[in-house]
Amino acid sequence: MAMIKHELAKLVEIAAREAQSKDLIPPTALPEVSVERPQNPEHGDYASTMALKLARAARMNPMVIASAIVSSFPPIPGVEDITVVAPGFINFRLTDNWLREQVPVILGAGASYGSLDIGKGQRVQIEFVSANPTGPLHVGNGRGAMLGNALANILAAAGYSVEKEYYVNDAGSQIEVFSNSLHARYLQALGKDVAFPESGYGGQYMIEVGQELATEYGEKYLDQPSQLGAIGLERMLDMIRVDLANLGVVFDSWFRESSIYKEGKYQAIMDLLKEKGYVAEREGALWFTSTSLGDDKDNVLVRTTGVPTYFAADAAYHYDKLAERGFDRAINIWGADHLGHVSRLKAALTGMGIDHQRLNVIIMQLVTLKRGAEAVRLSKRTGDIITLREVLEEVGADACRFFFLSRSADSQMDFDLELAKQQSNENPVYYVQYAHARIASILDLAKDRDIDFSDGDVSLLATEAELELIRQMILLPEVIEMSAHNLEPHHLPHYAQELAAAFHSFYTVCRVVSEDIPMTKARLKLVQATKIGLARTLALMGMTVPESM
């Protein structure tokens, strides 16, 4: 389904060139043409700022430029009128007939409605969550999980070949600390009088896992903290997989940091950086001279102890993604504490001969849990951190999915647990899903009455509520395109609410199944198309699509 906004943009450019050929505007280079939805719907369905962009180069009043462009338009099928609005917008209003004709187009597309081919099959890898396997997932990890999962769905719908990956930090000092912490809890569970490591992982979950392992293995690992730690690590990864699956997130691959060393990938990139002259030895450590590549400081690759830094491992990991495995693009979703890591990693890619623009990093801000106006900081069960599992159990997976997506990644978000549980229109999750369930009940009623609406005449759809509902439906491909282009999945929940609102408004003023059979059939086609749009939007967010509530 071609998007009308792109067709209009092409016509604006053609009309501008026609105006130039008539000497109505100077023959300057034309700016990139875009057509967007105007903020005020009364101004029309779409608007172009071409005249405003062209005004300085042309040295003309943008209103005059806009009028010249409009005068050069031929009649455009599907467009009722084209107007010029101060300070120089070119506004388009679509015909009612064109809007009505989109209903059978959506019905014909079915579950694939909104799919695009802008990705052209490019291979994209999205790495997200990647929490250290030293503890349970928390709510911040949940936000990253939903951002990554929804973005993967959006990019797939836009024609990209997408792979979701979890990077398992199973090497380094934190694993040693984890092993020692777990071993202490294991020994304590066996009744041994041992001190807990001062810098150990002290959460309640470590006590529980230690008790489980003591029950399962007895005294088998009394003197083997690393072996017990390896078992505990797999136990933690299993817990993480279960939590993610409950949220609806399943990864295509789990990449282990330890493989970077075992398979020689770390040594390969060290040799490469040395060969290219980007490694220097200072004070017993090896440094990446990233300042020579535009970074603000050099960074340590190997400490004086001979132990590689996390940065060195990450450089090897990203070389593996983009050079060895050959992804066209890599997208990482990281917490705000990783912001300073972005520039040095991009510098490392450049140093290894990889275009750093192939890596996109989305920095995600914190989540604050609330009950109404009151912030929630500690778990009721343990007096410890609030885990993702606890939030899932309290409010349900769909509420988590929707709320985690509802704000842009770079915005801090408040997650109101009480609102998420409400079954009322105040809760956006309920509001959107109820629209879909309501449509399902209408279609069930039509089925019970043996109403075959396949021959419904959509030309009968004439009320403003009906046409506004169609206007919202046709925006889904645009939302997918914008979300894929900007890597911003938060547009989906906002669109879902707008489409649901348009449907609820329509339902309030328009009786669907009535004694007027032709109108009934036309409106059944309309609600069937709306159901397709809502279902696709919910599915892209990873949410369930309820037939009843």
Q: How large is the average pLDDT for residues 241-262?
A: 97
Cα–Cα distance, 274 to 297 (Å, whole number): 18
Q: Is residue 25 part of a domain?
A: yes
**Domain termination site, one of 218, 239, 260:** 239
Asked whether 77 and 36 are in contact (CB, 8 A), the reply is no
Q: Is the residue at 289 inside a domain?
A: no
pLDDT score, position 243: 97
Q: What is the mean pLDDT of residues 114-120?
A: 97
165 with 255: CB under 8 angstroms?
A: yes
The answer to whether residue 107 sits within a structural domain is no
What would the DSSP string read from start to end of 491-506?
HHHHHHHHHHHHHHHH
Claim to verify: residue 187 and residue 90 sit in the same structural domain: no
**175-189, 378-392, 513-527: which range is least confident on average?**
378-392
**pLDDT tens digits for range 160-172:** 999 999 999 999 8
Q: What CA–CA distance (Å, rounded) separates 19 from 15?
A: 6
* Pick from 466, 515, 520, 473: nearest CA to 498: 473
Q: How does residue 377 score in pLDDT terms, banded at 50, 70 and 90? A: confident
Query: Nearest CA to 62 among 47, 76, 77, 45?
Result: 47
Q: Which of 287, 361, 375 is nearest to 321 (CA)?
A: 361
Residue 431 and residue 534 in one domain: yes
DSSP string, 345-398: HHHHHHHTT--GGGEEEEEE--EEEEETTEEE-S-TTTSSPPBHHHHHHHH-HH
**Is 522 in contact with 461 (CB distance < 8 Å)?**
yes
Round to whole Å and give the CA distance between 545 and 539: 7
Range of the domain at 188: 173-239
Strand ranges in 123-225 using DSSP code E only, listed in sequence order: 123-127, 161-168
**218 lies in some domain:** yes
Burial of 526 from C-beta contacts in 10 A (0-12 / 13-18 / 19+):
buried
Q: How many helices (H) and strands (E) in the chain?
A: 20, 15
Is residue 17 a part of any domain in this protein? Answer: yes
- Residue 549: the pLDDT is 85
The CATH number given to whatever domain includes residue 52 is 3.30.1360.70
**Rounded Cα distance, 458 and 448, in Å:** 22
Determine the pLDDT at residue 42: 86
Checking if the pLDDT of 273 tops 90, the result is yes
Among the residue ranges 2-11, 62-71, 452-461, 493-502, the one predicted with the least confidence is 2-11
Last residue of a domain, one of 181, 205, 239: 239
pLDDT reading at 447 higher than 80: yes
Whole-number Å distance between alpha carbons of 391 and 365: 18
| Domain final residue, candidates 94, 121, 154 | 94
- The percent of residues in the chain predicted with pLDDT above 70, rounded, is 99
Percent of the residues in the chain that have a pLDDT greater than 90, as a whole number:
93
Largest CA distance in the chain: 93
Query: What value does the mean pLDDT of the chain take?
Result: 95
pLDDT recorded at residue 384: 74
In a domain, residue 54? The reply is yes
pLDDT digits (tens, 9 = 90+) for 519-538: 999 999 999 999 999 999 99
Nearest to 235 by CA among 165, 191, 172, 186: 186
Q: Environment class of residue 394 by beta-carbon count within 10 Å: exposed (0-12), middle (13-18) or buried (19+)?
A: middle
Q: Are residues 430 and 532 in the same domain?
A: yes
Say yes or no to pLDDT of 383 above 70: no
Q: How many CB atoms lie within 10 A of CB 380?
A: 9
Q: Is residue 502 part of a domain?
A: yes
pLDDT at 122: 98
178 and 83 co-located in one domain = no
Sign of the dihedral through C-alpha 448, 501, 437, 147: positive
| Count of the separate structural domains present in the chain | 3
Query: How does pLDDT run across 344-353, given as a tens digit for each residue?
Result: 999 999 999 9
27 prior amide bond cis, ω within 30: no
What secondary structure letter does DSSP report for 31? P
Structure tokens at 490: 């938060």
Position with higher pLDDT, 67 vs 74: 67
- 100: pLDDT strictly greater than 90: yes
Q: Are 445 and 534 members of one domain?
A: yes
Q: Which of 92, 103, 95, 91 is nearest to 78 (CA)?
A: 95
Q: Sheet holding 285-288: strands in order across?
A: 279-282, 285-288, 299-302
Whether residue 86 is found in the same domain as residue 177: no
> Residue 515 maps to which CATH number?
1.10.730.10
Please report whether residue 35 resides in a domain: yes
Instruction: Report the C-alpha dihedral over residues 507, 513, 517, 521, rounded to 10 degrees.
Output: 60
Q: So what's the pLDDT on residue 442?
A: 98
Query: Is 431 in the same domain as 531?
Result: yes
Would you state the pLDDT for residue 527? 98
